[in-house]
Amino acid sequence: MNKSRADSRPRLSKQGFSPDVCGRINFCYLPPVPPKKKIAIIPGDGIGKEVIPQAVKVLEASGAPLDLTYFDWGADRYLKDATTVPADGFAMLDRDFDAILVGAFGDPRVPSNIHAKEILLGMRFKMDLYANIRPVRLLDATLCPLKGIEPKDVDFVVFRENTEGVYGDSGGVFKQGTADEVAVQEDINTRKGVERIIRYAFEFAAHNKKADGSPRTRVLMCDKSNAMTHAGGLWQRVFKTVRAEYPQIKSEHMYVDALCMQLVRDPRPFDVIVTNNMFGDIITDVAAALQGGLGMAASGNIHPGKTSMFEPVHGSAPPLAGNNIANPIGAILTSAMMLSHLGFAEAAQKIEAAVLEAVRQKKTTQDVAGTMGTKEVGEWIANKVGS
Ligand code: IPM
Ligand code: MG
């Protein structure tokens, strides 16, 4: 029996049998098909609207069982009816979806960027997606601006705390517009918040391998505890406590300024880096440059066991938008990260292998040494994944 006929046969009913098309009881049934994973797709603004359709093409080619629902949250919607996030929006995402795939937010028509803040930071904070996980992997030596650095030399992961720090929007402005103006931006660090991200980084190191199959062996905590003593002190104390639970993992520490310098001098020693929200933001832009630029960088905003959100590291890049020149690889690798998080490791690996092949054959956009457009790169990778 061919597959399509087999698939059209009646399936197992609640009672354990089901009538066939002629009304007879059919005891020869197929096991139930696993339900599709429900994915919320939010392309957002600018190049987000160009790269996400390419990521979706690739996801569809991977054959992973997904059910996609699109949302128009972004600048256009905000300008139309002043909605950033519809009432109950985050609760709905949490309740009705298994994962969220996001493009980017930011549009010159909304100078306050209020919609970007409420949607993107809103999702991270209100859905408590505490781990912003940003893998940094060089796929081809030609993409790295550093001399003599090979793909095996750049394969580390940044665990960025995603719900606290200076991003918490705590503070205020006093005597605004006067010569005595005061602006306070508070850096919030809780023991719970610091502990869970540090523990996640150690757990990841203990259970994951590098692309070449070698084990991950080190976790480096990055702070600025020589100057920011209150917050840094908490990070230091928690790091000491948690690392004692992982004697097999080497623990290290660097101040953020020294780390940035070391990343561009020699990225080889890095393995897993854990840090606060703002340092993680800065470090991952530097790290993106090591991979070939922001267009190559993927990320997941994760809370294990909860609906998590996946977004490329790049922004909406208004000057590039609408020209079919944006690099879709960051979004495509992000969708592979999402599949792997949902348990479709094989489909994720297929996508990663196709991206590697595209980079090697220069089937890429101009920013990464190719000559193709956004759509053409997406199609090439999707064809490779589907073949
Ligand atoms: C990022 C971005 C965001 C951040 C902006 C758009 C608020 O730079 O995801 O890295 O700072 O987290
Ligand atoms: Mg950033």
Domain residue ranges in the chain: 1-31, 34-129+303-387, 130-301
96 tagged catalytic: no
Amino acid making up residue 262: Q
Rounded to 5 degrees, what are φ and ψ at 289? Answer: -60, -35
Q: Matching CATH topology for 34-129+303-387 and 130-301?
A: yes
**Cα of 283 to ligand 2 centre, how many Å?**
9
Nearest CA to ligand 1 atom 3: 281
Of 159, 281, 299, 310, best ligand 1 pocket probe by most atoms within 8 Å of the beta carbon: 281
Catalytic residue among 257, 266, 306, 362: 257
**Cα of 285 to ligand 2 centre, how many Å?**
6
- Alpha carbons 189 and 207: distance in angstroms, whole number: 27
Q: Which CATH number fits domain 34-129+303-387: 3.40.718.10, 3.40.50.720, 1.20.1250.20, 3.40.630.30?
A: 3.40.718.10
Q: Which CATH number fits domain 130-301: 1.10.357.10, 1.10.10.10, 3.30.930.10, 3.40.718.10?
A: 3.40.718.10
**308 DSSP assignment:** E
Query: Tens digit of pLDDT for each residue in 223-254?
Result: 999 999 999 999 999 999 999 999 999 999 99
- Alpha carbons 374 and 332: distance in angstroms, whole number: 11
**Cα of 313 to ligand 2 centre, how many Å?**
6
- Average pLDDT over the chain, rounded to whole? 93
- Alpha carbons 185 and 169: distance in angstroms, whole number: 7
Query: Does residue 299 contact residue 134 with C-beta atoms inside 8 Å?
Result: yes
Query: Tens digit of pLDDT for each residue in 61-111?
Result: 999 999 999 999 999 999 999 999 999 999 999 999 999 999 999 999 999
Ligand 1 atom closest to Cα of 106? Answer: 6
Of 105, 112, 117, 120, best ligand 1 pocket probe by most atoms within 8 Å of the beta carbon: 120
Residues within 5 Å of ion ligand 2 by Cβ?
281
Report the SS3 class of residue 8: helix
CB atoms within 10 A of CB 232: 18
Catalytic residue among 128, 140, 285, 367: 285
Of 110, 121, 123, 134, best ligand 1 pocket probe by most atoms within 8 Å of the beta carbon: 121
78 tagged catalytic: no
State whether the beta carbon of 107 lies less than 6 angstroms from ligand 1. no
Shortest CA distance to 259 belongs to which of 229, 223, 218? 223
Please give the share of the chain, as a percent, with pLDDT higher than 90: 91
Ligand 1 atom closest to Cα of 124? Answer: 12
Ligand 1 atom closest to Cα of 281? Answer: 10
* Regions of the chain where pLDDT drops below 70: 1-29
Query: Does residue 332 contact residue 58 with C-beta atoms inside 8 Å?
Result: yes
State whether the beta carbon of 315 lies less than 6 angstroms from ligand 1. yes
**Cα of 287 to ligand 2 centre, how many Å?**
11
**364 DSSP assignment:** S
Catalytic residue among 37, 224, 350, 384: 224
Q: Which residue has the tokens 């160009």?
A: 50
Rounded to 5 degrees, what are φ and ψ at 137? Answer: -140, 125
**Cα of 286 to ligand 2 centre, how many Å?**
10
CB atoms within 10 A of CB 120: 22
Question: Beta-strand (E) ranges in the chain?
Answer: 18-19, 25-26, 37-44, 66-70, 99-104, 131-137, 155-161, 171-174, 182-185, 218-223, 250-255, 272-275, 300-302, 308-310
**Cα of 267 to ligand 1 centre, how many Å?**
23
